[in-house]
A = this chain, B = another copy of it.
C-alpha cells in the first residue's frame, strides 16, 4: 500500500548560545530607540562564535535528534540539506554530515544540498516527502537539515542576522502531514538579495525591493493556493480555513505585514468569511493597482489593524524563536513552525497550518500541513518536549556589542580562509555540541564534539 500522511515525524532545533539583545544593539549603534525592537519587531539575535558554523550546527542538530528520538543512523535512506551559507562551492554540507553515518556503515543515503537563498530547506523538505511517496522509496526515513548563519555588513541590515540548524525526520503516518495537492509556488528572476561577491560572506541587499518581492510572491502564492483549493474542494478558501499561519521571517515586522496582506487579499476577493467591519475599513483600497497597494501606507496601517486580533490568534504563536534568535535563512520558517509546536503542542490536533516559504532571487511556495497529535516519540507533545525551546533560550549568554562587532571582524577575515586553529573554547556550549577546531593548509575542516561527561575534559 502506498504510504499515507507523509510528513514530519520528529524535529530538533539548535541555535548558538551566543546572542545579543536588540535594544543593546540599538544603543550601541546609536539609532533611535525602538528601531530594531519595534521597527523590525526583533528582541534578540543569535550568532555563531568562532567555534561554530553551519556544519557544526548541522552535526549537532542531527546527532541530538537521533539521540532524543532513539533513531539509529542505519534507519536513514535519504538526507538533504538546505542552506545558503557557502563554505565550499562544490562539496555539499550533506557530505560533511555523512561522518555521522559512515561509522555504522550506512553510506547508501540519497540526497545532496538544495540551494536558493532561504528557500533551500523547503526544497529539501519537498524532495524528501516526494521520495517517500515515489517508487524509489525503500522504507527508510528521510532526514532534512536546514542550517544557516545569517550575517550582514555593518549598516541597517546587520540587526537582521541570526543562526540556527533544524533537523526534521520524514516518513509516513506523520503527526505533521503534507496536504500536497494544494500548494502553489511563485518563482521569478529578481535581484532583491544575492551573494555575487564570492569572497565575502555578506549578501548584497536591496531591502525595499526584497520586501516588495516578498509581499508580491506571497500574494501570488496565496491566489494560487486558493484556486487549487477551490478547484479540488469545491469551496472557497480564506484565512478562516486554517487555524495557524507560519511565515518565513527575516524580521517579525514583515510577518505582521504579510498576514495583513492576506487579510486584505480576502477582502479584495470578497471572501464570504470576511466580516462587514473589515470590508468597511479595507474596501476602499481594493481599487488600487497591485503595485500601488504594496506601497500604500494607509492600506498597510488599516490592514494591520483589521488583522490584529487574527494575528494574535493565528500567527503570534509561531513567532517566539524568530524574535529571539533572528533570521535563520533556510531554518527560519521551520523555527517559526517549531515555535508554534512549542506553544500549542497537542492542542494542534486536527488543525491546518498554512506555511509560506520565501527565498530571494526568488523562489516562494505556500503549502499547508495537517496536524494530528500522533503517538509516542512521534507526537506533537513529544516534539515540543524534545525541542525544549524555553530551556535553550534561557541557557543563552548575552554578549556585549563590542565583542559581537569584533567577532564579526575575525569572521570576515576567516571566511574562505585556511591554515588556522580556533580557540577550541567550548565553555559556552552545551554538552553534545559540535565545534570547529581547525582549518588546515588544504582548507580541510576539523570538528570535535563537546563530551557529555564534563569530567572527560576536551
Asked if A116 CB lies within 8 Å of chain B CBs, one says yes
Asked if A91 CB lies within 8 Å of chain B CBs, one says yes
> Are A86's CB and B84's CB within 8 A?
no
Interface residues as binary, A59-86 with B (CB distance below 8 Å gives 1, 0 otherwise): 0000000000000000000010000101
List residues of A (96-144) whose CB comes within 8 Å of B's CBs.
96-99, 101-102, 107-117, 119-120, 123, 126-127, 129-131, 133-136
- Give the copy number: 2
Evaluate whether A130 and B120 lie within 8 angstroms (CB atoms) in the complex, with A102-B189, A224-B108 already known.
no
Asked if A392 CB lies within 8 Å of chain B CBs, one says no
- We find that the number of chain A residues with CB closer than 8 angstroms to chain B is 77
Closest chain B CB from A20 CB (angstroms): 24
> Are A114's CB and B113's CB within 8 A?
yes
Evaluate whether A92 and B112 lie within 8 angstroms (CB atoms) in the complex, with A102-B188, A191-B442 already known.
no
List residues of A (158-195) whose CB comes within 8 Å of B's CBs.
178, 180-181, 183-191, 193-195
Closest chain B CB from A190 CB (angstroms): 8
Asked if A458 CB lies within 8 Å of chain B CBs, one says no
Q: A133-B134, A136-B178, A204-B443 are in contact. List 10 more A-B contacts (CB 8 A).
A: A84-B90, A86-B86, A91-B361, A94-B187, A102-B188, A107-B188, A113-B115, A127-B130, A134-B134, A191-B443
Which A residues form the contact surface with B (CB < 8 A)? Answer: 2, 6, 79, 84, 86-92, 94-99, 101-102, 107-117, 119-120, 123, 126-127, 129-131, 133-136, 178, 180-181, 183-191, 193-199, 203-204, 220, 224, 359-363, 365, 415-416, 418, 442-444
Q: List 21 A-B contacts (CB under 8 A).
A: A86-B89, A88-B194, A88-B195, A89-B89, A90-B115, A91-B194, A91-B196, A92-B363, A95-B188, A96-B189, A101-B187, A110-B123, A112-B363, A113-B115, A127-B127, A127-B130, A130-B136, A133-B134, A135-B181, A197-B443, A199-B416
